[in-house]
Amino acid sequence: MKILGIDPGTTTVWYAIIEKNWHDFVLLDYWVIQTLPKIPLEQKLLEIGQDISGLIQKYSPERIGVEKLFFNTNITTGIAVSHARGVIIYECMKAGIIPHEYTPLQIKKAITSSWAAKKTQLQKAIQMIFRLSEIPRPDDAADAIGIAYMAGLERERI
């Protein structure tokens, strides 16, 4: 089973594609979708939607995980990212895949056994799980891989 993990943003959207064979997970690819920082939000959303659609067509994932939005101190950024999440979820649904959604805390807890894990701990845990020669960089890449892994751990929806 191929699984796509997505860490949403407006200027950068990190994604990872993994394959699950029974209890074995293999990292196939991870990278970033980038939009130009100074273009209007509407243009960013269009590009993100097109790129997510392209990833779904290219990899044909059977499952998709998307990070849930959490608000920190910058509500303006959070609102823009929520727009990007909406576009991403729309593209998943358009492809017939209901996305699994996870908070950053759920991902940290499931992968490192700690709600308070640092980004480096998550990166090292991902390195161990996928038997990588080095930790995935930057930390947003590890987030996308972790999201895909979490979606791979989920039971099938009825």
Catalytic residues: 7, 67, 140
Residues in the chain: 158
CA distance 75 to 119: 22
DSSP β-bridge partners for residue 13 = 33
Per DSSP, helices labelled H in the chain are: 41-59, 75-94, 104-112, 119-129, 139-153
Longest pairwise C-alpha distance within the chain: 44
SS3 29: strand
Burial of 11 (0-12, 13-18, 19+ CB in 10 A): middle
